[in-house]
Structure 1
Amino acid sequence: MTLKARLFDFLLFFTSLAVAFSLGHFTIDPTTFVIALLLYWVFSSLYYQLRIISKKNNTSFDYGISYSLSFAIFTGTLGLLLFETIYRFTVYLTKRWKNTADPGELLDVFYNIGSFVLSNSISYYLFTLLHPGFQHIPFGFWILMIFLVCVSSFLTGTFLAIVLYISGDIKSRSETIEFIFKTRSFMDIGKVAFTNGLLLLLLEEGKWEMIISLFILNYLVNRSFVFKSHSIQNKIERDKFEQMAYTDFLTGIANRAYMDKKMAELNQSNETIAIVVADIDKFKRINDNYNHAVGDRVIQHFSTILKSRLNYDDYLFRSGGEEFTLFLRNRSFETSVALIETISQDVMSNMVTVEHHSESIPISYTASFGLYFLKLNDDVSIGKGYVYADQLLLQSKELGRNKITVKNAILKTDNQ
């Protein structure tokens, strides 16, 4: 962080001291203050573990519910200053003990104390000024608490935006304004306002058991949300990695690993299925006459044609370099053969446009197919069906390519 940013941190800290002492006096007896301080310190320290960490370029900061407003109103600004000092240094020492403290973490403590003491001291002053008038308004107390949380959130957001602007992590005025007003959501403001409002009412009545219960409930609810959030995020990441592991990077369709997984699943289904192995004819010649980038474009074009003709419950895999495997489900033998004939015609009638030597040129190609139609059972596995379909593909190649060779294993008939 820059020297100017650090100077602002200390300016904020000493300004907060001046404001706290100018407004300050302890408004409650020492015993009550010590009990309140102890409870707020313990639960604020616990809740700190549930904060949301954000980063703006080189600067890290965190969000979490703050109990400072209710403590400031109940104990006064000097009590707030003492609480924030103890709490912020507790957080710093805990980070040092866990070896998670940043290099400038100690100096950040003074910024945090200054920011929260100054913003909540101003809110405390506004409360003492406005509370008498709001008493005569329905739900006036809660409206005032929401207003004060908006004020304190705006101030802390502004202080942080200034630091980010000075350090260069925010570049423009519009970005600064956007950051200030997006620091807190309306839901966050409501949560902070109602939590601090309830705490303040319970503090004024001295209901310590209910205060502890509210702290515990607030902690458990937020811990549950954080746990669920992490679980959802972990699931998203697992799904993303699984998708990457099972997706062919060139065509975007399923790869051989996913094909093996689905074969194991389908073996248990006892369903009737058509296994089709398809291969681009004379693909090596395409690579040799042009280049591998052109070859890749042809593979992508072929996969698009295959995919365009399939139903939602069919499967398409890139099972080799220029080889694709299809599992056609819920079809008869005749409709399966008709579908492959249609695909073969699509390949012949749709040339692919490629870039070669800075020119766009059309390329035509053909494909060969082997189709094996069977009913899965304990004696005939899908693995065997795939081997038979691959053998039928070889027969199509031997017959001159651009052919379809099929076998209906149920009726024991062959067709070419």
Structure 2
Amino acid sequence: MLKARLYDISLFLIALGIAFSSDRILINQTDFFKALALFWLFSSLYYHLRVLSKSGSTSWEHGISYDSSFALFAGPVGLFVFEFIYRFTVYFYKKWTKTADPNEFLDTLYNIGSFVITNSIAYFLFLHLQTSFNGFPFGFWILMLIIVSISLILSSISLVVALYILGDFKTIKEGIKFVLKSRSWLDYGTVAFTNGLLFLFLKEDKWEMLISLFILNYIVSRSYHSKSQSIQHKLERDKFEQMAYTDFLTGVFNRTFMDKKMAELNRTGERIGIVVADIDKFKRINDNYNHAVGDKVIQHFARTLKSYLSENDYLFRSGGEEFTLCLRKRNFEVTLELVHRMLNGVKNNYVDVEFNGENLSISYTASFGLYFYTANDQISMEKAYIQADQLLLQSKQLGRNKVSYENALLSVELK
């Protein structure tokens, strides 16, 4: 941790040295303070649209940086002044909102140092290369893309060094992978184009255009940020919903989701085969081995049943070793044949388990109850489930490892 803090302070001191060993601010004070106020205002506004990333115990923020254009306009000294004011604005805001990290002050010094150093390098490269690029079509924009890319890559490298010192990266390969994947070429182009326009507007005293670009950039970023937040919230809701409706042991739907889905299917008028399936003599498996082996058998049973289903079907864990299936979009004969295949698939398969240091293959059987009917007001899904459960009990009474069934449609036709 001491090395990391020394690294932060060193970057700040190097940036300070670069700034005050270079030429002083060459532009007049009025233009400088106008530019400083605008860049500080919109950078502060843009701070709320940042994207937070994390590696190990370290977090950092992504967002469009306006530093390159300000460095080209005001030089390293002006850039240092801007970074100092902006970064400490963020620092005091975090302190005020109580979102600051324990080492926020030194992190602020790191940000000032890193951005001043990398963008000062961009400034000196621009001074030395701009004459060479003047003769090329779109030479200014090509040069902007080059220096911005170099600046962003150097910024990523400085972050990699910090993460390496903190132990979040263990190898150089991890650092290289981070640098290559931390930003896309679209990011480089966006930053280069934005900073290029800002610099041109500053040079030509087009303050209205500069403010308009800032506002446009903020509105677009705000829009994308809102959409990304909405997508993120939806993904989180879907994830929590999936967790609420998923059985933790088998990964199939749980009883809660079964009740919800049955309520939805209740009055669809479609033909459905409700199947209740149960592992035979499951207690004996637990008694002869242990509950860990029993869990393996339940997981195997769930996987076996699921392997026979189509995308229209549902599988629920409705009890300990009991599962309920909704088989849809099939006629009775096809549904019954499918259940028989499930029964044989269970009977002719084995579960590989470890017990008392030995690898064992355990066989087991299951019993099934199938109730085939049309979902309507006369027979609810709940009643159909009870009928299927009774048919399962009948299979158990007949000696287990059997399928008992009833086709309610046939009963209706006979009437």
Tell me, yes or no, whether TM beats 0.5.
Answer: yes
State whether structure 2 residue 284 is matched by structure 1 residue 285.
yes
Deviation at 1:146, TM superposition (A): 0.9
Residue identity matched to 1:228? K
TM-fit CA distance, 1:244: 2.0
Range moving further from structure 2, 55-64 or 379-388: 55-64
Cα 1:158–1:248 change in 2 (3 A) is closer
What residue is the counterpart of 1:45 in the other structure? 44
SS in 2 for 1:120: helix
Match of 2:113 in 1: 114
Aligned to 2:260: 261
Q: Within 5 Å, which residues of 2 pair with 1:22-41?
A: 22-41=21-40
Q: Please list, as runs of the form range in 1=range in 2, the aligned pairs for 1:14-413 lying within 5 A after superposition.
A: 14-412=13-411
Aligned sequence identity (%): 61
Residues matched between the structures, number: 413
Please give the alpha-carbon distance, in whole angstroms, between the structure 2 residues aligned to 1:325 and 1:181: 49
Per-residue CA distance 1:215-236 (angstroms, 9 max, x = gap): 1111122222222222222222
Question: What is the one-letter code of the residue matched to 2:209?
Answer: M
| CA distance in structure 2 between the aligned counterparts of 1:243 and 1:222, rounded to whole angstroms | 31
Unaligned runs of at least 5 residues, structure 1: none
- 1:276-298 deviation per Cα after TM superposition (whole angstroms, max 9, x unaligned): 11222222122222222232232
1:191-238 CA-partner distances (Å, limit 9, x unpaired):
111100011111122221211111111112222222222222222222
Give me the whole-angstrom Cα distance separating, in 2, the residues matched to 1:157 and 1:270.
60
User: Relative to structure 1, is the Cα distance of residues 107 and 328 closer, same or farther in structure 2, using a 3 angstrom cutoff?
Assistant: closer
Structure 2 residue matching 1:411: 3-state secondary structure: helix
* 8 Å contact from structure 1 (residues 157, 181) kept in 2: no
Q: What is the SS of the residue equivalent to 1:410?
A: helix
Q: CA deviation at 1:137?
A: 0.6
Instruction: Name the CA distance, whole Å, in 1 between partners of 2:343 and 2:157.
Output: 65
**TM-score, normalized by length of structure 2?**
0.92
Offset at residue 411 of structure 1 (A): 2.2
| C-alpha separation in 2, matches of 1:75 and 1:187 | 27
Deviation, 1:255, is: 1.6
CA separation of 1:243/1:133 partners in 2, compared to 1, >3 Å: closer, same or farther?
A: same
Report if aligned partners of 1:95, 1:101 keep a CA contact under 8 Å in 2: yes
For 1:288, give the aligned amino acid: D
Do the aligned residues in 2 keep the contact of 1:367 with 1:403 (CA within 8 Å)? yes
For residues 161 and 346 of structure 2, the distance between their equivalents in structure 1, rounded to whole angstroms, comes to 62
AA matched with 1:147: I
Q: Deviations over 1:98-134 (max 9, x none)?
A: 1112222223332222222222222212212211221
TM-score by length of 1: 0.92
- Separation in 2 of the partners of 1:251 and 1:168? 37
Is the alpha carbon distance of 1:391 and 1:231 closer, same or farther for their aligned partners in structure 2, counting shifts above 3 Å? Answer: same
CA deviations on 1:247-281 (whole Å, 9 max, x unpaired) are 22222222211211110111121111121112222
C-alpha contact (below 8 Å) 1:149/1:193 kept by paired residues: yes
Secondary structure of the residue aligned to 1:76 is: helix
Q: Check 1:154–1:323 CA distance in 2 against 1; reply closer, same or farther (3 A cut).
A: closer
Is the alpha carbon distance of 1:208 and 1:378 closer, same or farther for their aligned partners in structure 2, counting shifts above 3 Å? same
SS of structure 1 residue aligned to 2:300: helix
Structure 1 position 47, deviation (Å): 0.9
Identify unmatched segments of 5+ residues in structure 2.
none
After the TM superposition, which of the residue ranges 365-374 and 87-96 deviates more from structure 2? 365-374
The 1-side partners of 2:329 and 2:20 are apart by 80
Aligned partners of 1:247, 1:152: CA distance in 2, in Å? 47
Distance 2:156 2:71 in 1: 19
Q: CA deviation at 1:180?
A: 4.3
Query: Are residues 403 and 7 of structure 1, via their aligned partners in 2, closer, same or farther at CA, if it must alter by over 3 Å?
Result: closer
Distance 1:146 1:265, change over 3 A: same
Question: Residue by residue, what CA displacement relative to the aligned partner does 1:55-105 show, whole Å, maximum 9, x if unpaired?
Answer: 333433222211111112112332222211211111111111111122222
